[in-house]
Structure 1
């Protein structure tokens, strides 16, 4: 399955728009990761644990979106967008959305 942030797939023609598909993941950040990230902020550098959680969340949201696209019989998802939002101050919501399409 082709995933792209563009409005089409180069060299292919969109023959049918199947609808918007989305995937959502909500991550809770635990206290121990927060403490480790706090130390990292004091001394500088990147927070590997947060980055790992973000990757897992993004991959999960994309996988869920792809699952819905496959159920529709799509060949690709175009116009893919990934959003990050905080929920309740303690959780992070990652959403992936796009348009499921059939290609010639």
Structure 2
């Protein structure tokens, strides 16, 4: 599956548009990761626990995006955009949304 942020694919012709597709993931941060990130915030530096959670959530959202496009008969997704949002009263939930247009490209 070709996945691109551009509206077209160089060297390919889009022959069919299958629709807008999304891949959403909501991920909670557990107490241990939150505690470790708090220490990083206090002492400075990068938070490996939060970075790992973000990478995993983004990978899952992209997987869902590709899976849903494939279910529509697409072989590519153009115009991909990834959005991040913090949810929950304590801000301990992360939502990652990947969206794009499922197409058939030849």
Same-fold status (TM-score > 0.5): yes
**Aligned-partner Cα distance in 1 for 2:2–2:19:** 15
> Is 2:36 the partner of 1:15?
no
Mapping for residues 61-80 of structure 1, pairs under 5 Å = 61-80=61-80
Any idea what the Cα deviations from partners look like across 1:64-83, whole Å, max 9, x if unmatched? Answer: 01001111111100000000
1:37 Cα offset (Å): 0.7
C-alpha distance in structure 2 between counterparts of 1:37 and 1:86, whole Å: 15
1:90 Cα offset (Å):
2.3
Q: TM-score scaled to structure 2, two decimals? A: 0.94
Structure 1: 5+ residue stretches without partners: none
Map of 2:39 onto structure 1: 39
- C-alpha distance in 2 between matches for 1:33 and 1:102: 41
Moved over 4 A (4+): none
Normalised by the length of structure 1, the TM-score is 0.96
- For residues 37-61 of structure 1, the C-alpha deviation after alignment (integer angstroms, 9 at most, x for no partner) is 1111122110011111001000000
